[in-house]
Amino acid sequence: MTMGESPPRAPQVGCSAEDDLGLSDEDSEEERIVAELELLGVRYLSRRTSERARHVRPPDALLADLVRQPSARVRAATIAVLLAHPEYAAGVSHALERLPPAEQQTLRIFYTAAVLLQQEHAERLQHYVPVQHLPNRFATDLGLSATAPPSEQLTALGQRHRQQTQAVVNWVGTYEDVARHLLRSWELEARWNRSHQPT
């Protein structure tokens, strides 16, 4: 399966973000970003409109804009983008320049979560994404031991994330959920494509 392949979508009841849904500017921007993610093969996020994107903003802008989103589910999709397109790692430095310090740290954390999840799920990912390892750029800055197993580093990363946010959140579970939803969506699409191949 290639990233562009997907089963036909059921018709959605609704209209575009510019129609009479009364979406705020924030919500409209979220819809635009999620529509762009669909073009990148990240299609597990639910939608409130039928808006379709024609192009994707540059990697640095997309990563920065994802981290800025008020919705936690959309912010966490930063991880999914990096798993689906590890070449987007090249845009991280410029993305950091677009963000204030607190959001810079969030991007570093999500990037590092993607690095570790890529290692944990390497066997499943290789069926859908060309092998291109994400460099573990921020492990030292985040107080992680780059030589520890990925699971241990993820646990330490989640603790660091909790300290930053002061929120009682299972961050490791959040990171793992992103990978699980992404891989599950690709597996379902691949199954659909196989079942609809000409015999």
**pLDDT of 52-101, one tens digit each?**
899 999 999 999 999 999 999 999 999 999 999 999 999 999 999 999 99
Q: pLDDT digit string (tens) for 94-147? A: 999 999 999 999 999 999 999 999 999 999 999 999 889 999 999 999 999 988
Q: How many helices (H) and strands (E) does the chain have?
A: 8, 0
Given a cut of 80, is residue 12 above it in pLDDT?
A: no
Checking if the pLDDT of 9 tops 50, the result is no
Q: Given this model, what pLDDT does residue 22 score?
A: 61
CA angle 39, 69, 88 (to 5 degrees): 45
Beta strands, E only, the chain? none
Work out the average pLDDT over 23-51. 88
Side-chain half-sphere of 18: how many Cα atoms within 13 Å? Answer: 1
Predicted local confidence at residue 179, as pLDDT: 97
187/22 Cα distance (integer angstroms): 35
pLDDT at 21 over 60: no
**Least confident residue range of 24-38, 147-161, 177-191:** 24-38
Residues 6+ apart with CB under 8 A from 186: 1, 41, 127, 128
User: Which residue did the predictor score with more confidence, 198 or 82?
Assistant: 82
pLDDT of 199: 62
The C-alpha atoms of residue 85 and residue 83 are separated, in whole angstroms, by: 6
Residues in contact with 141: Cβ distance below 8 Å, sequence separation at least 6, in sequence order: 108
φ/ψ bin of 126: left (φ > 0), alpha (ψ from -120 to 50), beta (otherwise): alpha
What residues does each domain of the chain span?
Answer: 25-195
Residue 76 token pair: 């966490």
Q: What is the mean pLDDT of residues 15-41?
A: 75
